[in-house]
């Protein structure tokens, strides 16, 4: 069966970006001038997804407004001949986007479970907004390609350093040969030195609908939340789950430093900003170096 539906969970509290996320969804924070969730929706569309369900929660109205037609704005841009900007506004307005509310932020697993009626008995994709992946062939399209050949649930992974393994869900592959690996086990945020591998789960999944049997058990896991990783672990006991090391540069926009790095990298790709930004960065570095050498001379 073809993968045509995708879930984008966006009902989390976004505590790492407080106070910005008190009244504004984390998913609407812009990288240069585009909200992070739009990058994710564009990846889904470019991967052949036809229906998207966004799981929202309290205070997330701005997401629905963002993907709605804004007739007044579109009319004004047309009248003013600002067609480039109009294009950027219209880019995602032609895909079917549906919304469902997660009544309480009980965890990622619970958010996915909330969308079960929309998915029905089909394989589906999950994309998390914390990672933006840049690649010629979109990350999700690579996973769908693997699904089409195996009909197995596929988890998108990339290698991280030993120090970083504690921040991610990590897979224990049966055999590390090639990019597609059968999964032996999954561990959510392993303690230092306990990680079974360096393959971290990166917010892109293709899942078979049987996952809902395990999400429906509502078992609490790490952090007292219903974890998707735990349900996948259960699923793996009944039907084998695979991991695929996808190609592409990954930007971690779910935490502050990654968000700033991504903003700089994406701004440097924009011809109208590149030179100005490079001049600014060079000036900043020179000032910092000067200040440091003055300080070290004073200390001598
Ligand atoms: P995160 O833990 O990265 O998001 O969850 P968060 O909870 O919003 O952020 P912090 O950690 O407090 O800063 C991963 C994804 O799962 C969604 C989030 O919106 C995010 O896209 N999520 C998480 C839900 O939809 N519901 C939940 O109950 C928890």
**R_g over Cα of the chain:** 21
Share of the chain above pLDDT 90, in %: 74
The pick from 12, 19, 221, 257 for probing ligand 1's pocket by mutation, whose C-beta has the most ligand atoms within 8 angstroms, reads 12
- Ligand 1 binding pocket includes 26 (Cβ within 6 Å): yes
- Ligand 1 binding pocket includes 131 (Cβ within 6 Å): no
CA-CA-CA-CA dihedral for 54, 57, 60, 61, to nearest 10 = 80
Q: What is the pLDDT of residue 2?
A: 93
Name the CATH topology of 5-269.
Answer: Spore Coat Polysaccharide Biosynthesis Protein SpsA; Chain A (3.90.550)
Under the banding of pLDDT at 50, 70 and 90, the label for residue 94 is low
Whether 90 has a pLDDT exceeding 90, the answer reads no
Nearest partner of 90 among 69, 62, 63, 65, judged by Cα: 69
For the chain, what are the domain ranges?
5-269, 275-300
Mean pLDDT of 177-205: 93
For the whole model, what pTM was predicted?
Answer: 0.91
For residue 162, give every residue at least 6 positions away whose Cβ sits within 8 Å of its Cβ, in sequence order, or none: 195, 198
For residue 220, give every residue at least 6 positions away whose Cβ sits within 8 Å of its Cβ, in sequence order, or none: 107, 226
- Ligand 1 binding pocket includes 25 (Cβ within 6 Å): no
Report CA 24 to chain centroid distance, whole Å: 18
Mean pLDDT of 240-250: 97
Distance, CA of 138 to CA of 119 (rounded, Å): 22
Whether 178 has a pLDDT exceeding 80, the answer reads yes
- Ligand 1 binding pocket includes 109 (Cβ within 6 Å): no
- Ligand 1 binding pocket includes 169 (Cβ within 6 Å): no
- Specify the residue with its C-alpha closest to ligand 1, atom 10: 14
Nearest partner of 13 among 168, 207, 225, 201, judged by Cα: 225
Q: For residues 170 and 197, is the Cβ–Cβ distance under 8 A?
A: yes
Which run of H or E residues covers position 40?
helix 36-46
Paired tokens of 98:
């549906």
Question: Which atom in ligand 1 lies closest to the alpha carbon of residue 226?
Answer: 28
More confident call, 83 vs 160 = 160
Whether 89 has a pLDDT exceeding 80, the answer reads no
Q: What is the pLDDT of residue 80?
A: 80
Cis peptide before 291 (omega within 30 of 0): no
Q: Which ranges constitute the DSSP H helices of 80-209?
A: 83-90, 108-114, 116-119, 139-150
- Ligand 1 binding pocket includes 110 (Cβ within 6 Å): yes
Handedness of CA 95, 201, 179, 263 (dihedral sign): positive
Distance, CA of 255 to CA of 258 (rounded, Å): 6
Share of the chain above pLDDT 70, in %: 98
Q: Is 37 left (phi over 0), alpha (psi -120 to 50) or beta?
A: alpha
- Specify the residue with its C-alpha closest to ligand 1, atom 9: 14
Q: What is the pLDDT of residue 93?
A: 64
Whether 222 has a pLDDT exceeding 90, the answer reads no
Cα(107) to ligand 1 centroid in Å equals 7
- Specify the residue with its C-alpha closest to ligand 1, atom 18: 12
- Taking only the tens place, the pLDDT of each residue in 11-55 is 998 899 999 999 899 999 999 999 999 999 999 999 999 999 999
Which residue do the tokens 């889904």 mark? 44
Mean pLDDT of 124-136: 95
Distance, CA of 172 to CA of 253 (rounded, Å): 25
Distance, CA of 297 to CA of 19 (rounded, Å): 39
Cα(204) to ligand 1 centroid in Å equals 14
Which residue do the tokens 């000036």 mark? 283
Cα(69) to ligand 1 centroid in Å equals 27
Distance, CA of 162 to CA of 143 (rounded, Å): 25
Whether 1 has a pLDDT exceeding 90, the answer reads no
Q: What is the SS3 assignment for 190?
A: coil
Nearest partner of 166 among 150, 148, 149, 189, judged by Cα: 189
Cα(25) to ligand 1 centroid in Å equals 11
Q: For residues 55 and 100, is the Cβ–Cβ distance under 8 A?
A: yes
Q: For residues 82 and 70, is the Cβ–Cβ distance under 8 A?
A: no
């Amino acid at each position: 069966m073809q993968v045509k539906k995708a879930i984008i969970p966006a009902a989390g509290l976004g505590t790492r970006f407080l106070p910005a996320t008190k009244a504004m969804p984390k998913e609407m924070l812009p990288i240069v001038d585009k909200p992070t969730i739009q990058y994710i929706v564009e990846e889904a569309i470019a991967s052949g997804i036809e229906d998207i369900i966004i799981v929202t929660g309290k205070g997330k109205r701005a997401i629905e407004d963002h993907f709605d037609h804004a007739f007044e704005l579109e009319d004004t841009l047309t009248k003013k001949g600002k067609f480039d900007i109009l294009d950027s506004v219209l880019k995602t307005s032609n895909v079917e986007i549906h919304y469902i509310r997660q009544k309480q932020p009980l965890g990622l697993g619970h958010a996915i479970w909330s969308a079960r009626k929309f998915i029905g008995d089909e394989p589906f994709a999950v994309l998390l907004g914390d990672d933006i992946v840049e690649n010629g062939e979109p990350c999700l399209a690579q996973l769908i390609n693997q699904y089409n050949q195996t009909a197995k649930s596929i988890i998108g992974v990339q290698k991280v350093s030993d120090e970083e393994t504690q921040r991610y869900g990590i897979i224990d592959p049966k055999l590390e040969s090639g990019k597609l690996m059968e999964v032996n086990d999954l561990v959510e945020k392993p303690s230092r030195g306990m990680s079974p591998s360096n393959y971290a789960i990166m917010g892109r999944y293709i899942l078979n609908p049987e996952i809902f049997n395990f999400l429906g058990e509502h078992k609490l896991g790490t952090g007292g939340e219903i974890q998707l990783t735990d349900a996948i672990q259960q699923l793996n006991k009944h039907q084998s789950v695979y991991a695929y090391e996808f190609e592409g540069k990954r930007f971690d926009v779910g935490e502050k430093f990654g968000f700033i790095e991504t903003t700089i990298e994406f701004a440097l790709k924009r011809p109208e900003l590149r030179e100005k930004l490079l001049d600014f960065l060079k000036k900043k570095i020179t000032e910092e170096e000067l200040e440091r050498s003055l300080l070290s001379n004073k200390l001598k």
